[in-house]
Amino acid sequence: MPEGLKTAVIGLGSMGWGAAVSLLRAGFPTTGVDIRPTVCAAFVEKGGRSTPLPSEAVADADVIFVFVVNAEQTEQVLFGENGAVAAAKPGSTFVLCVTMSPSYSVEVASRLDDAGMRVIDGPVSGGAEKALKGEMSIMASGAKETFAQIQPVLDAIATKIFQLGEEPGVGSRVKMINQLLAGVHIAAMGEALTLGVKAGLDVKMLYEVIIECAGNSWMFENRGRHVVEGDYSPKSAVDIFVKDLGIVTSEGKATGFSLPLSETALALFKEAKEAGYGREDDSAVAKIYARKSGISLPGTSGN
């Protein structure tokens, strides 16, 4: 058993699942928490333990990763009925991997500290594929001694661990900037590919050229492939960027900072959600451009 540490992962979505599987692969006894029975059963088949109740998962855990969707779910799994905090051992480390407002991250860190817990504000990035390989990036802030104590666990799920100081909320602020760029780049990807189709270009050819040229970005290459393949099964859903860009624009307004690109991208994701694409892959924003332009994309039947 590496370093004798036991772990729990609350939330077995695309990123949480990858982290939990990576922990098992590295030899850490891991309990996964999810409300979906099929997901719990699948994790047991991988060799882990599973339960729908956070309180049951954390009783003997040394490190507890929180991978739920938003601040509301974080509040529930940590402090609500059958929440993790009341059941965890004093001195357990909570790693907050949720993308949420920096102000709420600071609040949660303070409440965990008051409860006798250690905490790392550690949002993640990299997508489902990297998560499954244990190759995520973690934008983290927390006490140096806490990092040192759980370093082997962090190494099991990530290849890039950015230690951004000891102040809670720094990790969340950096993640906010990352999500600003990611959301704008996805919106730009949708605009670029659909403009190309409107101009009479083959979308696969266009994609293959751009990923080798200066206009490429990680999001264009990754999400553009989904559009080319007509595959909108959710790796990261439209709904996620409605939330994340909402955080960006809200924080901007609170500080009096103008965010015209973020606001435009957020409006596009909201439109995609209203069109019924909220649970589809975030690359489905391209469908909004296609519908407005009167064109068809691979895997779609008209507009």
Q: 137 with 97: CB under 8 angstroms?
A: no
Q: 24 with 80: CB under 8 angstroms?
A: no
The token pair at 105 is 């991250």
Question: Which positions are annotated as active-site residues?
Answer: 175
* CB within 8 Å of 132: residues ≥ 6 apart: 17, 18, 21, 22
Q: Which amino acid is at 232?
A: Y
Say how many C-beta atoms besides its own lie within 10 A of residue 96's C-beta.
Answer: 28
* Relative orientation angle of helices 238-255 and 170-198, to the nearest 10 degrees: 120
Q: Which amino acid is at 102?
A: P
Kind of pairing between the strands at 124-125 and 136-142: antiparallel
59 vs 64: CA distance, rounded Å: 10
297 vs 248: CA distance, rounded Å: 30
